[in-house]
Chain A
Amino acid sequence: MSISSSANDRKKIAVTRAKKVGTITPITLSERSITGFALIRIFVGYLWFQQLFWKMPPEFAGLYSYIIRESQHTIIPGYGYILQHTFLSGCTSLLTATGCTLYVPLAAGVWIAELIVSISLMFGLFTRIGAILGSVLAIQLYVGLAYTDWIWTYGMLVLLCLALTAIPSGRRLGFDQWLAPRLQTAAHSKRLARFVSWFA
């Protein structure tokens, strides 16, 4: 009897806890807040967009000095070594990418990734993919360059992109407003749509 009673007590406590947990009010962003966030998203996308123009293809010349700086000032041990023996292998100059066989493919990858981030964020098109990719790129910049500039420069860029990852800001002033309801409807029957719908 006592065992049963104590089991009942435990149940009651569990239910009370669950109720307490259940009382956490879900946060709903107001129309103004999400629209404001969408504007921030557009400006962050434009930030990435502008940075395409000082490292334009086919040479991507502007990027070279930054890769060199990253290889010299990175905060992660071994990161500089990897850069020097992969992407910068064969390079004969600190000023130009002469002799670097793998520099152009690396720079093209960076440029295309930044283009994807900027288009995704500016147009609110699968915004969270753009924001995640932006976070990765910004973390890479932080690792390589944070101690050569004002350290918060890249830290803030990481945090901005993480904030845009957390909030689906493309659902206002963006294509995600059109995409999200469709993907959510399809998500009931298709697993892939369920996965993809989180990114819109």
Chain B
Amino acid sequence: MTHIRRGLLAGLLAGFLMAMLNFVTDGTPGRTLPDALHWFGVTIADPTLSRFTGFFVLILLGGIAGIIFGLVQRESVITIGRSLLSGLVLGLVWWLLFSLLLTNIMNHASSPLNLQFGIFLATFPIDLLFGMVLGSIYYQLQGQPATAEA
């Protein structure tokens, strides 16, 4: 059970970080936050409400991703290498599911795998970053010394 709680906390924190990054976006702060609602076909007319709802949905999704991360790790104490690698894999899955498939489906794109370089660049590194941060926080929460693997 500890690993699930740890995963949940790591996911919520990583989701919070990802949501906060949206507040330093060029242009209107938080303008990309409603994308998280759009993945589920939800549209809120009020832009401010839409952004704040998107903000909390991102954190919530982060928490769910964290629980999945914790479940995969089971009760075992994991190394920093495994934690980071698992995080990257989670980030890749997140990107495939949300930034590629759901975005294309909701935008009625010609193919669910439709991809432009600009959109790839804007989403792929950030989603991997989310996974890496989640994995790293999960490792820190185990309370291991920094040089455990040295």
Which residues of A line the B interface, CB within 8 A? 31, 35, 39, 42-43, 46-47, 49-50, 52-54, 56, 118-119, 122-123, 171-175, 177-178, 181-182, 184-185
Contact = CB atoms under 8 A, between A and B. Distances in A.
Nearest to A173: B136
A171 B140 CA distance: 11
Contacts of B125: 49, 118-119, 122-123
A10 B135 CA distance: 57
A50 B26 contact: yes
Nearest to A31: B140
Instruction: Decide if the interface of chain A is mainly helix, strand, loop or mixed.
Output: helix
B129 to A, nearest CB: 5
A35 B137 CA distance: 10
Nearest to A183: B150
Nearest to A177: B80
Given A49-B125, A53-B122, A123-B128, 8 more contacts: A31-B140, A46-B24, A47-B24, A50-B25, A123-B132, A177-B136, A177-B146, A182-B150
A124 to B, nearest CB: 8
B1 interface: no
Contacts of A54: 26
Interface in B74-130: 80-81, 84, 117-118, 121-122, 125-126, 128-129
A35 B13 CA distance: 13
Interface of B: 17, 21, 24-26, 80-81, 84, 117-118, 121-122, 125-126, 128-129, 132-133, 136-137, 139-140, 146-147, 149-150
Nearest to B121: A52
26 contacts: A31-B140, A35-B140, A39-B17, A42-B17, A42-B21, A42-B133, A43-B24, A46-B24, A49-B125, A50-B24, A56-B117, A118-B125, A123-B128, A123-B132, A171-B146, A172-B136, A173-B132, A173-B137, A174-B136, A175-B84, A175-B132, A177-B80, A178-B149, A181-B150, A182-B150, A185-B150
A35 B136 CA distance: 11
Instruction: Decide if the interface of chain B is mainly helix, strand, loop or mixed.
Output: helix
Contacts of B84: 175, 177-178
A39 B16 CA distance: 12
A173 B87 CA distance: 11
